[in-house]
Every structure is written in structure tokens, then in C-alpha cells.
Amino acid sequence: MKNTQVLLARRPAGVPRENDFRVVEDDVRALASGEFLVENLYLSLDAGFRNWMNEESGDDVLPAMPLDRPVMGLTLGRVCQSRHPDYAEGALLMARLAWEEYSISDGSDFIVRLESDGRYPLHYHLGVLGDTGMSAYFGLHDIGRPQPGETVLVSAAGGAVGSIAGQIARIHGARAVGLVGSAEKCARLCRDLGYDEAIDRSAPDVAERIAAACPEGVHVYFDSVGGPLLEQVLVHIAEGAGIPFGGAAPAYNAPVPLPGPSNLFALVLKSARLEGFMTHRNVDRYPEARSALSGWLDDGRLRSVEYIHEGVAQAGVGFCHLFEGRNFGKSVVRVRDDDASPARR
């Protein structure tokens, strides 16, 4: 079988560009004992993986991505061949593999087994029922803990996690206010996702707009941005505020470390809590989160919005769109329709 792959052709200098990636075709090699072949059906595009495209970025979470190798990312696929006793052909998996049609694993990668009863599109397991939805769930459930009548402010509210976080805040009876990058996204946030208010973070008077939208202060700030925006929000936090901190997107592209907020003493003055988190460290609680999220989908209180690209060769293009602000909701690459895959004919 032939395997279309998207390689990391060079280290991005700042914001990723399409020519940072290269599309190639290679043969799928024979499996060794203890390996299995995954036919990837969907790829998840996540801004956080930009961090590990830098040469010096290896850490205790993930290694730096090597050049001229398929780009690492979350995928959803089926086992189509197996020489591993624990992974039978036909098994549905969400895994940290790569931007390619077929991936070979020995089971040591981050892998979550999935069961699909056909109630939802499969790609939901990369979005609202996957790490995206679970990030919103764990950040609010464990750290933010919004109460009825409180105000939840969400940075990057038009993105994958933010689009879910505001809806969960509303489900808990809180007001949802979103920060996005354009007036068009402000309109979509309120019209399509039920946010109470939306603020264009590029507006010169963003601080005044935050104050007007959050007259009793920000009780929960779900942050995926950090930096100067966090500094502005800290001015408006309420007593006992909770700040789930799940990302720092501008820092991924910065050639030098960005300055941190200069007013962290606001956390002391307001007895507030800022806490970082990574969703995959709660893998044992995935069933809990998925049960809650699917229940909200079923009763219509939660909506999934996707930005879908067709074909694995579009993965690099779609990834660049994330940083250009062209996406709204969860960005996904459809590698192939499930029923049309060679392994299922």
C-alpha cells in the first residue's frame, strides 16, 4: 500500500507557513512482531503541537519533532493489520501518531480505545467527545467550577476548546463571554454557540469592553492565550476567581520568550487561583467526561462546530489556518470516509 504523509520540512520561524511542510508518498512497510497498522480516518489539528516543532522544545511530555519525518498529531483510525496480541483488526483508536494515511505502532504511543455506536460522527471523538471537549470539561469542572449567575470569560472562544467551554459554562448556569479575533466571529459566537457576549480582542478598547461585559468581575477565566491578554483580564478578576490555564498560543510562535503578566499580585489580592492542566493526564477519567459531554449533546444543550479539510495532504494548510484565525470550532482533516476505506470494503 502507498502512504501519503505530511513531513516537517523545516522548523517554522514564527507563525507556521505552508512550505514548512512537505507532502510525500511512501510504501507501507511490512509489520514486525508486536506491531499493528492503523488506517487513519481523521487527523486532529491542534495549535499546541506547534510547541514541539521547535528544535529545543523536547520535554518530559513529548520530544521535539524530527525534520523530514511525518508531523506528530492526534489521529482517529482503525487497526487494519495486526501482529500485536492486544490490538485486533477492526479496533477503533484515538492515538498520538502522525499526519499520514497509515501509521505503524507497537502500542507504546498514547492510545485510547474507542467504542462507536453510530450515534455521532466519528470525528466527534477528536473534537467534542475527544481531547477538545474534555479539555473544556476538565478545565471548568476541576479548576474553574462556575456557579449559576457567575461570569465565565473564555479566550480564543472561537477555537476548538473555547467553542465548547462557553457552552459548558452556560449549561452550569453561568454567563459566557468570549474573546475572539474578529467582529464576524463575535457574531457567530453569540448566534451559533449561545454566548451571552463576545469581544473582539483586537479592538483598541478591549480592556473597557471586558469591564463592560463583566460588571461584577470575571469569576472564571478559561485561558488558552496567556501573555498581554491575561494581564488585561487580571485587572478584572473577581474575589476567589478560578483560572484554568490550558495553553499559550502566542508563545508557540515567539522567537524569544514573551514577557509574563506584570500584575500577578492580583491573584493575591483577590485570593484567586491560576492552574495549568493537560487533558491527557486525566485519561482514566475520559469515560466520565465523555458521558457528560454526550448527554449534553443528546439533550441539545451542547453543539459541535467543525472546520473540516479534505485529504491528508491538506493537513499543513489546515494547521496554518489555525494561526491565521481562519478556523471556527474544531479543525479536522478527513483522510477518508470510514465506509470508503480500503480495509472496510
For position 72, which CATH number holds?
A: 3.90.180.10
Sign, CA torsion 221/223/229/234: positive
Res 345: pLDDT: 32
137 and 278 in a single domain? The answer is yes
- Classified as helix, coil or strand, 91 is coil
Res 338: pLDDT: 65
Res 102: pLDDT: 98
185 and 319 in a single domain? The answer is no
Residue 80: name the closest of 31, 7, 114 by CA: 31
- Distance between CA 21 and CA 4 in Å, rounded? 13
187 and 268 in a single domain? The answer is yes
Instruction: Name the strand (E) or helix (H) holding 307.
Output: strand 306-310
Contact 64, 52 (CB under 8 A): yes
248 and 193 in a single domain? The answer is yes
**What's the angle, vertex CA 282, arms to CA 100 and CA 62, rounded to 5?**
45
pTM of the predicted structure, to 2 decimals = 0.91
Res 260: pLDDT: 81
22 and 115 in a single domain? The answer is yes
The helix-helix angle for 160-171 and 183-193 (nearest 10°) equals 40
Name 191's Cβ contacts closer than 8 Å, sequence gap at least 6.
none
- Classified as helix, coil or strand, 164 is helix
By residue range, what is the domain housing residue 82? 2-127+305-344
DSSP H helical segments within the chain, as ranges?
A: 131-138, 160-171, 183-193, 206-213, 227-234, 249-252, 265-269, 286-298, 315-324
217 and 144 in a single domain? The answer is yes
Residue 55: name the closest of 93, 89, 10, 20 by CA: 10
Per-10-residue mean pLDDT, the chain, length 345: 96 94 97 98 94 80 92 96 97 96 95 88 95 96 97 96 97 98 96 97 92 98 94 97 91 77 96 95 93 97 96 97 94 80 39
Overall domain count for the chain: 2
188 and 248 in a single domain? The answer is yes
Name the phi and psi angles at 210, rounded to 5: -65, -45
Residue type, 278: M
Contact 161, 131 (CB under 8 A): no
List b or e across 99-108, with b for residues whose CB sees 16 or more CB atoms inside 10 angstroms.
bbbbbbbeee
172 and 118 in a single domain? The answer is no
139 and 200 in a single domain? The answer is yes
Res 343: pLDDT: 41
For position 223, which CATH number holds?
A: 3.40.50.720
